[in-house]
Amino acid sequence: MSTDIKEVVKEKYGQAALRVHSGGSSCCGASTALDNCCDPITMNLYDAVQASQIPEDALKASLGCGNPTALAQLNPGETVLDLGSGGGIDVLLSARRVGPAGKAYGLDMTDEMLALARENQRKAGVANVDFLKGEIENIPLPDNSVDVIISNCVINLSADKDRVLSEAFRVLKHGVYLEACQRRVRGHRGRAYADLLRRRRTCVPRRSEC
């Protein structure tokens, strides 16, 4: 991300995490942590079964635009990476699906979100999870170490999407895939992003957008 965009994202998402930690919601409600967050596209993304598997604060902290765990084909023993994991909702849900023999990583650059995610992990009692501090343009994992990458409305926040996708395909094992839920963008930027995804999609057999 460019420095300016990165600092804005860190500030806004840090505020959202602190609001949840203090008993509020990161999104819809009387007080919102992010402007224009109360959006029908981003509401009610997780069903009752999924909501019952995670702490309430993980659900409150969700700022995504989709539900990649509803689309991702996760199997026991696999390793999953969530780019921009926030309060940890998709990481915790993925960890349950890959089971004790698998692993779920969450990557986030915001200290407040990482603290909230680790607290949600403790409340959920999920051991096969590791939340990493870092940027999605520089993933702190070795080559060919991940079976599935998920991301929920985070790649679109990066000013260097080409770098993000290059890093994603670096850490992905051969023959696996990326599930990315992103907002669609109109105009030349949206077309450029779509072109980039089309160029990159040949690297993996399956990629979908929510």
Domains annotated on the chain, with CATH: 3-208 (3.40.50.150)
- Please name which of 88, 89, 116 lies closest in space to residue 14, comparing C-alpha atoms: 116
Q: Which residues of 15-53 are buried (b: 16+ CB within 10 A; e: fewer)?
A: bbbbbbbeebbbbeeeebbeeebeeeebeebbeeebbeb
What are the tens digits of pLDDT across the range 33-66?
A: 344 344 444 456 777 788 788 888 887 877 777 7
β-pair partners for 104: 80, 129
* CA 197 to mean position of chain CA atoms: 17
Q: How many residues does the chain have?
A: 210
Q: Give the pLDDT of residue 182.
A: 53
Task: Give the rounded percent of residues in the chain with a pLDDT score beyond 70.
Answer: 70
How confident is the model over 165-189, as a mean pLDDT? Answer: 70
How confident is the model over 89-98, as a mean pLDDT? Answer: 95
Q: Give the pLDDT of residue 35.
A: 40
How confident is the model over 173-186, as a mean pLDDT? Answer: 62
How confident is the model over 121-149, as a mean pLDDT? Answer: 96
Q: What is d(CA 46, CA 58) in angstroms, rounded to the nearest whole number?
A: 11
Q: Give the pLDDT of residue 192.
A: 47
Q: Give the pLDDT of residue 25.
A: 53
Q: What is d(CA 31, CA 14) in angstroms, rounded to the nearest whole number?
A: 15
Q: What is the pTM of this model?
A: 0.76
Q: Which residues contact 30 (CB under 8 A, 6 or more apart)?
A: none
Q: Give the pLDDT of residue 197.
A: 43
- Please name which of 161, 167, 152, 172 lies closest in space to residue 198, comparing C-alpha atoms: 161
CB 123 within 8 A of CB 153: no
How confident is the model over 118-129, as a mean pLDDT? Answer: 96
Tokens 């990557």: give the residue: 107
Average pLDDT value for the chain: 77
Tokens 């986030």: give the residue: 108
* Distance set, CA 15 to CA 11, 32, 46, 68 (Å): 6, 10, 23, 24
